[in-house]
Amino acid sequence: MKNKGEVKFWNGSIAIAEGAIAAGCRFFAGYPITPASDIAEYMALRLPQEDGVFIQMEDEIASIAALIGASWGGAKAMTSTSGPGFSLMQENIGLAAATETPLVIAEVQRAGPSTGMPTLVGQGDVMQARWGSHGEYETIVISPSSPQESFDLIIRAFNLAELYRVPVIFLTDECVAHMYERVVVPPKEEIEVVERLKPNVPPEEYMPFKPINDIAPMATAGMGYRVHVTGLTHNEKGYPMTTSPEVQEWMVRHICDKIRRNEPKIRDIEEYRMEDAEIAIVAFGITARAAKAAVKMARRHGIKAGLIRLKTIWPFPEPYFDNIADSVKKILVAEINYGQVKLEVERSVHGKTSVELIPKFGGEPHKPFEIYEKIKEVKNGN
């Protein structure tokens, strides 16, 4: 547990908002939705104090459009939402991906589909966070398990957004967002904050979408570069090339590969008791806490269980699981859905080990003993 810094008693939502401000977020546009409204309310209170702008938009479509505009205006921008609002944002998540616009979406998952269970937890938006908009693109998806991590990882979310010029989805859940815990806020000078790369060439030489080491420097409005930005298939100059399969291939490869190539650098996984584990539990968000308790129970009963906690879900750490599959006999994936991360784990282990789901359908998190019972069952079956 961290000790150096100021100790706060925050819930996950406040930690997200304060972390965002610490990361340099100075623009927030959002629309009320349960259980994510706390973040917007807190930002409305805090941002003007920090010389930032808060605006409540007419819907989630407008919210993310305003974020993209603000980001091209030079600001670090964030919104918060939950499932139904996240669905509405998918259109412009595609625009942000295509135009390589840094921004952060805090998605507080509730149970779906549709209006679902507005006040209760779910983890059913994992695939949507990756595949929600049409066409081919990549996003980065981060999942915190505590208020402390909500603070720490939202800063990382902004840093990754700036570094890779990509929309980052902060995929938390109702439980973590509403849970109050001790949060240690490190001194300002100890917080690493990344700023987007800016061009240093004269305007006539500048190519807004020509990558240098994977990422193109970004000239925002008013810098004198007179950039053209479009959601149409575009070349390095940003000009539409809507009938060129070659430019389409270049662009899609670029917006995907800049993330795929850097998966090992983006990857953030916590292992617990994995050193000699025969049964691995994979979990994220609130579920990882129940899973950790279940691993402890199992260990007390002499079962070699371990936890793999995903703090980044996308890009999926495929090589990591391919490797893990060589050393464990069984992988159990606990998530509050009917099997999403499970599919990815299954794909990544290439049949080397069996993968089983411990589902919950939303409305409540897993209880530790439910996961433990499954571990026991697997152990006895061995």
Partner 1 sequence: MEINATQHPMDKYLRADRIPHIWCPGCGLGIVLNAFLHAIEELKIDLDKLAVVSGIGCTGRIAGYINTDSYHTTHGRAIPFATGLKLANPEMKVVVISGDGDLFAIGGNHFIHAARRNIDITVIGVNNYNYGMTGGQLGPTTPLGARTTTTPYGNIEHPFNLCHVAHAAGAVYVARWTVLHAVRLKNSIKEALNKKGFSFIEVIAACPTTFGRRNKMPDALDEMRFYREHSVIKHGIDPAEANIEMGKEIVVGKFVDIEKPTFNDAVEELKRKVKKK
Interface residue with partner 1 among 51, 189, 205, 276 (CB under 8 A) is: 51
Residue 104 is a binding residue for partner 1 (CB under 8 A) = no
Residue 71 is a binding residue for partner 1 (CB under 8 A) = yes
What crossing angle do the helices spanning 12-22 and 147-164 adopt, rounded to 10°? 40
Cα–Cα–Cα angle for 58, 62, 63, rounded to 5 degrees: 95
Interface residue with partner 1 among 221, 247, 293, 343 (CB under 8 A) is: 221
* Count of positions on this chain that bind partner 1 (CB under 8 A): 47
375 Cβ contact list (under 8 Å, min separation 6): 279, 281, 294, 295, 297, 298, 303, 305, 332
Residue closer to partner 1 by CB (options 56, 354) is 56
Contact 167, 158 (CB under 8 A): no
The two tokens of residue 381 are 């079956």
What whole-number distance in Å separates Cα of residue 379 and Cα of residue 382?
5
Residue 262 is a binding residue for partner 1 (CB under 8 A) = no
Rounded to the nearest whole angstrom, what is the least distance from the CB of residue 91 to partner 1 in the complex? Answer: 6
Q: Which of 291, 264, 267 is nearest to 279 (CA)?
A: 291
Residue closer to partner 1 by CB (options 98, 355) is 98
Residue closer to partner 1 by CB (options 229, 251) is 229
Strand pairing report for 330-335 and 279-283: parallel
Residue closer to partner 1 by CB (options 63, 287) is 63
Rounded to the nearest whole angstrom, what is the least distance from the CB of residue 54 to partner 1 in the complex? Answer: 8
Interface residue with partner 1 among 11, 82, 92, 353 (CB under 8 A) is: 92
Interface residue with partner 1 among 187, 202, 222, 302 (CB under 8 A) is: 222
Q: Which of 231, 130, 243, 191 is nearest to 5 (CA)?
A: 191
276 Cβ contact list (under 8 Å, min separation 6): 304, 306
Strand pairing report for 305-310 and 279-283: parallel
Residue 25 is a binding residue for partner 1 (CB under 8 A) = no
Rounded to the nearest whole angstrom, what is the least distance from the CB of residue 255 to partner 1 in the complex? Answer: 16
Interface residue with partner 1 among 16, 78, 227, 355 (CB under 8 A) is: 227
Residue 139 is a binding residue for partner 1 (CB under 8 A) = no
Binding site for partner 1 (CB under 8 A): 26-27, 29, 48-53, 55, 57-59, 61-63, 65-75, 77, 91-92, 94-95, 220-232, 239-240
